[in-house]
Structure formats: structure tokens, C-alpha cells
């Protein structure tokens, strides 16, 4: 969104009243009828929120979001903007080569007067990749017609989190999202898992390049079981972690320039047979025949992806993100059954979730995390004709504690309400609401606002009626419990 430096005028009384309204959202979500229980409520959950009410039935909307067209419906100007980004124009091999070149140039002047300026330039280049990735993600999140797909890109990147700041990951994380995750967010979980296993961003981030026969590194194997598939209570043992680590030995990133490769391939991984433990492994009670090829890795990934514990863990996590913090066993059972019957078809599992009574009863009651909050506000503003400044949105999201791609630990950002609804977080959210309200656009003309005005609670209505100017009105709206929930 484009912002002017017009500051809203607040009295102590009005600021306190708005903050009290905002904090009221901590105590209880708005009533279940706060949004239209049909299409509008469903769209507010399956999208980032804040968009125009869909002019279709709930069945049509659900079908369109679960099976989206390849074209995301972005305006041509935004497609062109994304296409000209360096992370879009240059592949990981080129970006890695650029990073290595800059590193060598920097090392050559260490201790010399020019080192400081060159170090700043190096850091600026590396940061530019993170900024571009954030802008690309946020532009799509605000403007894409395939809103469920965009949420799932965020969800799965967060699930398979790699931290962009880790040295060798820096030129790779954007491609990890774009090439490994984005094309598979509604496909089979096994295919998505395989794509992450073989991507160099993951192999660098969780140290599998150091994993070799006779000296295994368990780091990736442990997180693969605990965070990516079966869950901490998945029933596997320490021996299973070790056996999986053995199966992953020799799988490493391959970022050599094409001219240095002995084979005509642009694959970003290499299976180093001389570093691989070729002995048989017993994983999760099944014998995996040792072999000197990446087929052994694919075999163990297939085995893990088909485990009942994986079906339950993935189902539970999807339900927590899209439905509620406390997920019923019956809902997890139903989703896990679909997962098993469909060979991990993510769209089918989500359809089971979205048509469940528990899900319908949760609509309008789930607290927005920072990404949902800021993106939904931006979508409200664009509905009133405002333009989106993705760098500003990224700054707001960062201020609220969820900086894009910056979770340093492999568990990803929390997805439960409690992680984002503390009193300190609400004060920061009030500050962000105030800043977002400086946009001169009149959101009262937004299709979303017009659709929800009749369903606002009496406290929010009274606060809006007492607003002294448009900026105050928008701050109150963005700070209301109704807007804080989805």
C-alpha cells in the first residue's frame, strides 16, 4: 500500500478506547455469526482474508480453491515485476556462483581499507534476495485469485522451514519455495516431501552434506521424522533415526557450474556412492536393501510418507492451521483416513477438513497470525483502490514477529492462536493498525467492508461511530475483534 505521512489525531481517550476494543479480542472471538456463515465465512478462512465476497456458491468456491488453474490471475504488471526479479531471472547455480565470487573478492581485501564498503555491498546483495522473495510472496498473497494455494505455499514452507540467513542457503531458499514447494502444495504429500529432501537448501540447512558412511550426522534424519512427517510422538525410536541417517548418507548438494560437471545435468543434488552406507537398514520395522543410488533415499521417503503416524501428524497440523488449536480426534481420524486412501492427496485431505462440522463451527473464530493480519488488511485496502507496497507489508509482518523466511529453527513459526495473541503482541498490532490506516484510501467503499459491516458487534459499531476522522475509523476497524479473527 502507498502511504502518506499524514498522522491521525488521537486523544488519550480515543486511543485508550481503541486499545480496549483490541484487547477485548483476547478474551473471546466474535460470535459465530460475525460473518456470513456461507460463502463469505468460507472465503475468509480459505483466503488470506479481506477480499471481495465470491460471487459463487460454497461448493463452487471450495472446488475452485482446491483445484486452481495454473494461471493465478495476477495483473500483467505484477507478473512482469516478478519476472524481472533476480531470483526469478537467475537459477540457483547462477546465484550460488555469484555468492562465491563475491565471497572470494571480499576475502581478497580482508584487512584493507576497502573491506568495510565491500562487506556492506556483499550484505546488501544477499539481503536483496530475501527482499525479493518477500515481495514476490506478498504480491501473490494480496492479488492472486488462487488464495488457498498461496496460503499453502506459506504453510508448507513453514512446515519444511529453512532459514534464509544460513550461509549456503542464501542463494537457494527462494528456489526452494518456488521449485520444490509451490508446484506441489495441493498434490501428493510424498511428492512434496521428495522435492524437499533432494533440494540443496534443505541438505545444507540440516547438514546432510556432512552425513557419510562410518560417521553419520543425524540432524536431518531426526527433523525429517520429528518435524516433517511422523511427529515427535510418531512411535519411532533412536535406532530408527540412526537407520534413516545411514540411508541418507552420500546425498549432498551439487552446485557446481555446468562446465565442471561430468554429466549433462542441472540437478541440484548429487548422490555420492563412495560416501554412502550400502548396508541394509531396518527402518520402522522394515528392511531397506542397501544400494549405491538415490533410489534408496526415495524408498525410505516413500516408506515414511505412508506411515499412519505421518497421516495423522500432517492431518493434525493442517487442521490446526486452518481450523482450530484443539483438534478433535474424530476430525484427525477422518483426515488421516483420507490421507491413507488417496496416497497422501493433500487436496482430498483438505476437502475432508473443509466439509467437516468442526471446521464450519470454527469459522470466524480463529485468531489471525501476523501474515494473515497484514495481508488481509492490504487486501481490504486494494479493494478500495489502494496500491500495495510489499516492502512495507514485510516490515509490518516483521514488527509483529513473523519476518518472512527468518525463523532460525527448523520447526517454523508457531501456527496456534496463543503464540500471537498475548497482550504485548496486541499492543504491537495496534501500532501496525494505526500505521496501515494512514493510507488515504477510503476502505468503507471496500466490498469486504461493505459485506461485513452489518455483522459487526455492538462494541465495534459504537467505536466506529465515535471515530473522529477516516484514519481513526480505519484503525478501529483493523483493531476490532471481528477483523482480528478469520
Q: Per-residue pLDDT tens for 336-370?
A: 999 999 999 999 999 999 999 999 999 999 999 99
Backbone angles phi, psi at 282, to 5 degrees: -110, 105
Distances (CA, A) of 370 to 92, 159, 250, 332: 29, 17, 39, 26
pLDDT at 439 over 90: no
Cβ distance 356 to 334 under 8 Å?
A: yes
Does pLDDT of 34 surpass 50?
no
Cβ-in-10-Å burial (0-12, 13-18, 19+) of 30 comes to buried
Cβ–Cβ < 8 Å for 269, 253: yes
DSSP β-bridge partners for residue 271: 251
User: Does residue 418 surpass a pLDDT of 50?
Assistant: yes
Stretch 453-458: mean pLDDT: 88
Dist CA 445 CA 462 (whole Å): 19
Report how far apart the first and last C-alpha atoms of the chain are (Å, whole number): 22
pLDDT of 314-328, one tens digit each? 999 999 999 999 999
Q: What's the pLDDT score for residue 452?
A: 86
Tell me 323's DSSP state: T
The three grid cell numbers given for residue 210, joined into one nine-digit string:
556432512
Average pLDDT over residues 33-53: 81
The pLDDT score that the predictor gives to residue 24 is: 52
Separation of alpha carbons 35 and 49, rounded Å: 12
pLDDT band at 305 (very low <50, low <70, confident <90, very high): very high
At residue 166, φ and ψ (nearest 5 deg) are: -65, 125
Question: pLDDT-based confidence at 20, cuts 50/70/90?
Answer: low
Nearest to 466 by CA among 11, 3, 4: 11
In order, the DSSP letters of 139-152 are HHHHH-S-HHHHHH
pLDDT interval class at 18 (50, 70, 90): low
Of 264 and 381, the structure prediction assigns the larger pLDDT to: 381
Cβ pair 324, 358 in contact under 8 A: yes
| pLDDT > 70? residue 375 | yes
Closest C-alpha among 314, 276, 284 to residue 300:
284
Instruction: Give the pLDDT of residue 259.
Output: 76
- In which band, very low, low, confident or very high, does the pLDDT at 266 lie, cut at 50, 70 and 90? confident
Mean pLDDT of 150-176: 98
Buried-state track 261-298, b at ≥16 Cβ within 10 A, e below 16: eeeeeeebbbbbeebbbeeebebbeeebeeeeebebbe
Average pLDDT value over all residues in the chain: 92
What residues contact 4, with CB distance under 8 A and at least 6 apart? 438, 439, 440
Backbone angles phi, psi at 141, to 5 degrees: -65, -40
How many C-beta atoms lie closer than 10 Å to residue 133's C-beta?
24
**Model confidence pLDDT, tens digit, residues 51-91:** 988 989 999 999 999 999 999 999 999 999 999 999 999 99
Q: Please, what is the angle between helix 39-46 and helix 147-159, to 10°? A: 40
- Looking at residue 236, its pLDDT comes to 98
Are 320 and 416 a contacting pair, CB within 8 Å? yes
> Per-residue pLDDT for 440 more than 90?
no
Residue 25 predicted with pLDDT over 70: no
Determine the longest span between alpha carbons in the chain, in angstroms: 74
φ, ψ of residue 367 in degrees (nearest 5): -75, 135
Return the percentage of the chain with pLDDT > 90, whole number. Answer: 84
The beta strand positions in 183-332, using DSSP E, are: 251-253, 269-271, 281-283, 286-288
Q: Which residue has the cell 510424498?
A: 190
- Percent of the chain at pLDDT exceeding 70: 92
Provide the pLDDT for residue 33: 38
The rounded distance, in Å, linking the Cα atoms of 225 and 248 is 13
pLDDT band at 454 (very low <50, low <70, confident <90, very high): confident
pLDDT at 330 over 80: yes
User: Which residues make Cβ contacts (< 8 Å) with residue 282, sequence separation at least 6?
Assistant: 239, 243, 288
Residue 216 clears pLDDT 50, i.e. is over it: yes
What angle do the packed helices 370-383 and 423-436 form, to 10 degrees?
Answer: 20
The answer, yes or no, to whether residue 27 has pLDDT greater than 50, is no
Give me the helix-helix angle, 346-354 and 308-322, nearest 10°.
Answer: 50
pLDDT band at 28 (very low <50, low <70, confident <90, very high): very low
User: Rounded mean pLDDT of 386-394?
Assistant: 95
- For 270, the 3-state DSSP assignment is strand
Q: Assess whether pLDDT exceeds 90 at residue 6.
A: no
3-state SS class at 347 = helix
pLDDT band at 455; cut points 50, 70, 90 = confident
For residues 157 and 177, the answer to whether their CB atoms sit within 8 Å is: yes
Q: pLDDT by residue (tens digit) across 223-263?
A: 999 999 999 999 999 999 999 999 999 999 999 988 787 66
Amino acid at each position: 500500500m502507498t502511504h502518506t505521512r499524514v498522522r491521525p489525531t488521537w486523544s488519550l481517550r480515543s486511543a485508550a478506547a481503541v486499545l480496549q476494543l483490541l484487547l477485548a479480542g483476547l478474551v473471546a472471538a466474535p460470535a459465530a455469526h460475525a460473518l456470513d456463515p456461507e460463502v463469505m465465512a468460507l472465503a475468509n478462512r480459505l483466503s488470506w482474508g479481506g477480499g471481495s465476497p465470491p460471487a459463487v456458491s460454497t461448493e463452487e468456491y471450495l472446488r475452485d480453491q482446491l483445484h486452481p488453474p495454473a494461471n493465478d490471475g495476477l495483473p500483467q504488471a505484477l507478473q512482469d515485476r516478478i519476472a524481472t526479479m533476480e531470483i526469478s531471472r537467475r537459477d540457483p547455480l547462477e546465484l550460488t556462483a555469484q555468492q562465491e565470487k563475491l565471497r572470494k573478492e571480499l576475502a581478497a581485501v580482508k584487512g584493507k581499507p576497502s573491506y568495510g564498503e565491500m562487506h556492506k555491498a556483499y550484505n546488501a546483495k544477499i539481503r536483496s534476495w530475501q527482499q525479493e522473495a518477500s515481495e514476490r510472496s506478498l504480491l501473490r498473497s494480496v492479488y492472486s485469485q488462487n488464495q488457498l494455494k498461496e496460503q499453502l505455499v506459506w504453510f508448507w514452507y513453514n512446515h519444511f522451514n529453512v532459514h534464509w540467513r544460513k550461509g549456503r542457503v542464501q542463494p537457494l531458499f527462494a528456489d526452494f519455495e518456488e521449485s520444490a514447494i509451490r508446484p506441489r502444495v495441493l498434490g501428493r504429500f510424498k511428492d512434496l516431501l521428495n522435492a524437499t529432501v533432494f533440494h540443496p537448501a534443505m541438505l545444507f540447512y540440516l547438514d546432510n552434506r556432512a552425513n557419510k558412511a562410518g560417521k553419520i550426522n543425524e540432524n536431518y534424519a531426526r527433523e525429517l521424522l520429528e518435524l516433517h512427517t511422523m511427529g515427535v510422538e510418531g512411535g519411532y525410536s533412536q535406532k530408527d533415526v540412526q537407520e534413516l541417517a545411514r540411508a541418507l548418507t552420500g546425498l549432498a548438494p551439487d552446485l557446481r557450474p555446468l562446465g565442471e560437471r561430468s554429466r549433462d545435468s542441472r540437478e541440484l543434488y548429487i548422490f555420492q556412492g563412495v560416501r554412502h552406507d550400502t548396508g541394509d537398514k531396518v527402518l520402522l520395522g522394515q528392511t531397506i536393501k542397501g544400494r549405491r543410488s538415490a533410489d534408496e533415499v526415495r524408498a525410505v521417503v516413500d516408506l515414511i510418507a505412508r506411515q499412519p503416524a505421518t497421516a495423522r501428524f500432517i492431518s493434525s497440523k493442517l487442521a490446526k492451521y486452518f481450523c482450530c488449536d484443539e483438534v478433535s480426534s474424530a476430525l484427525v481420524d477422518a483426515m488421516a483416513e483420507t490421507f491413507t486412501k488417496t496416497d497422501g492427496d493433500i487436496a482430498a485431505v483438505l476437502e475432508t477438513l473443509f466439509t467437516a462440522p468442526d471446521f464450519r463451527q470454527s469459522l470466524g473464530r480463529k485468531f489471525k497470525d501476523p501474515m494473515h493480519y497484514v495481508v488481509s488488511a492490504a487486501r481490504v485496502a486494494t479493494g478500495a483502490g489502494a496500491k500495495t507496497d510489499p516492502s512495507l507489508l514485510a516490515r509490518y509482518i516483521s514488527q509483529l514477529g513473523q519476518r518472512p523466511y527468518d525463523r532460525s529453527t527448523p520447526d517454523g513459526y508457531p501456527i496456534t492462536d496463543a503464540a500471537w495473541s498475548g497482550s504485548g503482541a496486541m499492543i504491537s498490532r495496534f501500532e501496525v493498525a494505526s500505521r496501515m490506516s494512514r493510507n488515504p484510501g477510503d476502505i468503507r467503499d471496500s466490498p469486504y467492508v461493505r459485506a461485513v459491516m452489518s455483522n459487526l458487534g455492538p462494541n465495534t459499531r459504537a467505536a466506529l461511530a465515535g471515530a473522529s476522522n477516516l484514519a481513526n475509523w480505519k484503525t478501529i476497524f483493523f483493531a476490532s475483534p471481528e477483523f482480528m479473527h478469520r
